Amino acid sequence: MGAAILRGLAFVTAATLVSLTAVARFAPLEAPEARLVLPGTVVLDAHGTVLEHEGGDGLRIPVTLEAIAPRMLQATISAEDRRFQRHVGIDPLAIARAATTAGTQRSGASTITQQLARRLYLADDASPLALRKAHEALIALELEGRRSKADILDLYLNDVYYGRQAYGVEAAARVYFGISARNLDLAHAAYLAGLPQRPSAYDPASDPAPARERQSYVLGRMADDGWITRAEADAAAAQPVAVLPSMRPPLAHQFVTFALAELARLRPDLAGRDGLVVETTLDAGLQDEAERLVRAHLAELRDRNATDAALVALEPGTGRILAMVGSATDGDPAHGGDINMTLALRSPGSALKPFLYAAAFEHGFTPATALLDVPSSFASPDGPYIPLNYDRTFHGLVPLRVALASSLNVPAVRTLDALGGTEALLEIAHRFGLSRLTDTERYGLGLTIGGGEVRLLDLANAYAALGAQGRLAEPFAVQRVRDRSGAVLYARPAPATRQVLSAEHAYLLSDILSDADARILGFGEVTPFELPFPAAAKSGTSTGARDTWTLGYTPEVAIGVWVGNANGEPLYDVAGIEGAGPIWRDAMMAAALGRRMSWYARPPGVVEATVCAPTGLLPGPDCPSPVRELFASGTVPTSGERYYSRDADGRVVIDPPLEARTWAHDAGLPLRGERRAGDTPRGVDGRLRIVSPVS
């Protein structure tokens, strides 16, 4: 009896099909593409993670069938319409089966084509059910008559709702798994393919069991349909599937704003346009960790009046922005999160010193050049300018290596004066992209220790140029933009760089900034700069401690951190190494989790030689401290030092420059020609005597 009923239903359905086919030829039908909801603009990270979507009805990321994993196509057909390739829009057998097994199976009578017809053309149809079903069948038939099966499957997979405001398989893959539909394996494809029937019920946020049960059902149907073996189905069902949380906090809000502003600048015709997929350079994993680190470390500085911080990470040599934390409350306008402090002009303190010494290298200085760290005074329009070191002490004669690594202020100011003043530093700073340093008359020699203002993004990019062996790239956020059809509307050209400093001089600076021994004089033996891999690092603290900085790099990543207050209030007893340093260290560690950190090979134009510290000249016979030092070819010293000698008692004494003699005397150092207390010339009874001339 049951078989007879099925045959009868099939006959009636077939007759209806013939009639509907005839009518469908004359039914006007708008192109399905015109019925698709225009997606809003979607912003993605470099790996396809959704950062933000604006406008439109939910999240939609159009893709072509070629950009969808074949397993997803197979899983969808098995889950929704296993006779999809054989029917003409409606499936008489499915209708008959549904009529006789209602309430016992998890499949219905609607084909993929009918579901598409219902979504595109009948969403607002309030007709009685029977009439609506007839309309649905008519439209499905016409769609099948006008479009290929591939077109219909393409339209369906770009429009079907998967839950979590995700329309289409690409949006669903990114929302549930953080990957592209292209990369869905069997387990993930079966998981997604099971969702459209009841998206809310199968969302694993509340209970993962129904979704896994539905996944197993889809895998079983795929095996029945011959797409996979039973063994493959069992293996996929047992495979863990990590599903992202359903409600993620806003990520990289200020970066997204920056990226869309960049797009508007590069392509004004795309500004504010809906239906765009904006692919960016951001590393969402690093961004997420950077935001967490900024908040966590800043909480430890609250009692020292530090209320804000910013961070930017770039890829040396390309300019790709990998992370951008505009403020500690990024994305929260009620607490200042609408201010992107990576773009604010702030005093960098001594973080400009590497560029001063880069200019010095171009004027013949070397890492071994002896610099004076003694009380100094310089004329200025406001009266004598007397620079001081952070610790308010002086160290006499110091090698340039130590002066930079230990961030000594006095040698830096004296070096800038020796180079002819601020123009020398401004020239190289502009070369490195610090073009907002323009107020020449105001700066004075204090420019090298924070007399100007720069943006964190620009300064971090300048450090990235050092990390790229002297090659400067423009920082950017937008990699590519596509429209709803997948057509590329904008693609960033291959990164172009300019050689703004020789590779040899960049290497010397990197070597100094990564030298833990050379920083001991200024920072002690334990600093936040110490990492399990080589890295260059430099801190900075502005006058009045209103801004604290740490910037540094490896060949793979450059990171800059600022800590302070957006309103300019000073911090309480916080230096760059304490305020920004710990954030920088932990951010570098986070970056290393996804990258193999390396270091630079010595360029052929850098050589090694032995010199006498602190003079930087060839060791004389009495030099007590010969050291190995690096030099750019052609700058190795050729003259010997005369700083050290022995007096008549065989004691090693020093002969410092005249400006350092008072410092040396006060420090109790043995000076050439200076007698010790109680000394008298040999063979003399203490009375005055003419010793020259003798005739």
Please tell me the distance from the alpha carbon of residue 573 to that of residue 584, in angstroms, as a whole number: 19
pLDDT > 70 fraction of the chain, expressed in percent and rounded: 88
CA dihedral 246, 249, 252, 257 (to 10 degrees): 100
Query: CATH 3.40.710.10 in the chain, residues?
Result: 349-452
Range list for CATH 1.10.3810.10 in the chain: 2-30+64-238
Domain 349-452, CATH class in plain words: alpha beta
Q: Is 490 exposed, middle or buried (0-12, 13-18, 19+ CB in 10 A)?
A: middle
The residues, ordered by sequence, that sit 6+ positions from 103 with a Cβ below 8 Å of its Cβ are none
Three-state secondary structure string covering 76-113: HHHHHCCCCCCCCCCCHHHHHHHHHCCCCCCCCCCCHH
| pLDDT winner (highest mean) among 204-218, 468-482, 514-528 | 468-482
Q: What is the pLDDT of residues 285-310, one digit of tens each?
A: 999 999 999 999 999 998 899 999 99
In this prediction, residue 630 carries a pLDDT of: 98
**CA pair distance 324, 242, nearest whole angstrom:** 27
Helix-, strand-, coil-residue percentages of the chain, each rounded to 5: 40, 15, 45
Q: Which residues are within 8 A (CB) of 190 and not within 5 positions of it... i.e. 6 or more apart? A: 71, 75, 79, 215, 218, 219, 222, 236
Q: Output the pLDDT for position 127.
A: 75
Q: Omega of the bond prior to 604 within 30 degrees of 0, cis? A: no
* Fold of the 2-30+64-238 domain: Penicillin binding protein transpeptidase fold (1.10.3810)
pLDDT for 552 equals 98
- Which residue, among 176, 179, 225, has the nearest Cα to 202 in the 3D structure? 176
Q: Is the pLDDT of residue 621 over 60?
A: yes
Question: Confidence class of residue 66 from pLDDT cuts 50, 70 and 90?
Answer: very high
Q: CB–CB of 416/448 below 8 Å?
A: yes
pLDDT band at 535 (very low <50, low <70, confident <90, very high): very high
| Token couple for 169 | 């398989």
Phi, psi of 39 (to 5 degrees): -70, 150
- CA neighbor of 187 nearest in space, from 168, 164, 212: 212
User: What's the CA angle centered on 291, arms 275 and 569, to 5 degrees?
Assistant: 115
Compute the radius of gyration of the chain from its Cα atoms.
36
Instruction: Identify the weakest region by mean pLDDT among 29-38, 153-162, 499-508, 542-551.
Output: 29-38
With 90 as the cut, is the pLDDT of residue 79 above it? yes
The full 3-state SS of 4-48, as one line of letters, equals HHHHHHHHHHHHHHHHHHHHHCCCCCCCHHHHCCCCCEEEECCCC
**Which segment, 34-43, 132-141, 184-193, is predicted with the most confidence on average?**
184-193
Residues 6+ apart with CB under 8 A from 473: 316, 317, 318, 319, 461, 464, 465, 495, 496, 497
d(CA 24, CA 485): 28
- Predicted confidence (pLDDT) per residue in 105-158, tens digit: 444 568 999 998 888 888 777 778 878 788 888 888 988 888 899 999 999 999
Q: Write phi, then psi, for 491 (nearest 5 degrees).
A: -135, 130
Res 684: pLDDT: 37
- For residues 374 and 386, the answer to whether their CB atoms sit within 8 Å is no
- Among 140-149, 309-318, 551-560, where is mean pLDDT lowest? 140-149
Quick one: 175 exposed, middle or buried, by C-beta within 10 A (0-12, 13-18, 19+)?
A: buried
